[in-house]
Amino acid sequence: MTRLADRLADLGLRHTASTLDDLLALAAKKRFSPTQLLEYVGEHELADRARRSVERRLSRSKLGRLKPIADFDWSWPTRIDRDAVEAALRLEFLGRAGNIVLVAPQGLGKTTIAKNIAHNAVMAGHSVLVITAAQMLLDLSSQDSARGLDRRLRHYQRFALLVVDEIGYLSYDNRNADLFFQVVSRRYEHKSLVLTTNLAFSDWATVFPNAACATALIDRLCHHADVLKIEGKSYRRREAEEASRSRRKKRSKSS
């Protein structure tokens, strides 16, 4: 049996190899015909490969902790286009290599929305990477050769969906601006981007203050983009205030 399991594993039938004893017992119990046995093996191998494929894509996506969109409080923002956000969650932009730009002050859920878009893309079979602007530019700027830089640029080019979070919290020099421009240009009209920023495009001069490419960068981002603006007060501030009130109530009751 061990020898048979090893041969099945060598053939790529990993699920069958790992569950061989149970499979044979089930086949004997239900008196599977050869055809039924092969159908059962094929069905369960495909299901197991689909599961492992999702797990690999989730791992490679660097998605991290995810707050489900079902928990998103749509009534809290003073301005949000729910229909447009839900269209993005349905991945309608991916087929046309479009972009999504989520513009909102800190604490209004733009990263939550971006991560849920990424998660939906993974579950739909797409390759995805989620990364902050600072992490991506640090990676690119640390390359010490033209070949190394080109290899990393191709890395950020290959994903069906690239999610770049937190643009606008730091300012960057000309080299970093040029690197970001190269990422956007390589993906332009080929593959989709989702960006989150706390700044309107008119304020991006504070992010790339001396970059000659800033205008061209924004032009490429906006050309095939749905710009989704969210306005209101911070969720996190509301949660902190509610937690503070709860603690005060507990203290007053105990006293």
CATH code assigned at 75: 3.40.50.300
Residues 31 and 91 in one domain: no
Q: Which domain holds residue 229?
A: 69-237
Residues 55 and 75 in one domain: no
Residues 82 and 148 in one domain: yes
Rounded average pLDDT over 15-19? 95
Joined together, the tokens standing for residue 229 give 């603006």
Residues 115 and 150 in one domain: yes
Dihedral of alpha carbons 162, 166, 168, 171, sign: negative
Rounded average pLDDT over 218-226? 91
Residue 244 confidence (pLDDT):
61
Residue 223's closest CA among 185, 196, 197? 185
Residue 209 confidence (pLDDT):
77
Alpha-carbon span 91 to 71, nearest angstrom: 19
Residue 126's closest CA among 73, 171, 191? 191
Residues 98 and 222 in one domain: yes
Kindly report which listed range (107-116, 172-181, 197-206, 237-246) carries the lowest average pLDDT score. 237-246
Residues 98 and 219 in one domain: yes
Answer whether residue 130 is part of any domain.
yes
- Compute CA distances 79 → 43, 69, 90, 108, 197, whole Å: 47, 17, 21, 11, 16
Residue 24 has pLDDT above 90, yes or no: yes
Kindly report which listed range (10-14, 229-233, 235-239) carries the lowest average pLDDT score. 235-239
Q: pLDDT for 101-114, tens place per residue?
A: 999 999 899 999 99
Residues 111 and 231 in one domain: yes
Alpha-carbon span 54 to 122, nearest angstrom: 7
Mean pLDDT of the chain, nearest integer = 92
Residue 8 has pLDDT above 70, yes or no: yes
Q: Where are the alpha helices (DSSP H) in 19-94?
A: 20-30, 34-61, 82-89
Answer whether residue 212 is part of any domain.
yes
Residues 131 and 191 in one domain: yes
Rounded average pLDDT over 143-159? 97
pTM of the model as a whole: 0.85
Residues 45 and 131 in one domain: no
Kindly report which listed range (5-9, 134-138, 168-172) carries the lowest average pLDDT score. 168-172
Residue 240 confidence (pLDDT):
61
Answer whether residue 52 is part of any domain.
yes
Q: Which of 16, 45, 61 is the last residue of a domain?
A: 61
Answer whether residue 249 is part of any domain.
no
Residue 246 has pLDDT above 70, yes or no: no
Residue 13's closest CA among 33, 38, 31? 38
Residues 109 and 126 in one domain: yes
Answer whether residue 118 is part of any domain.
yes
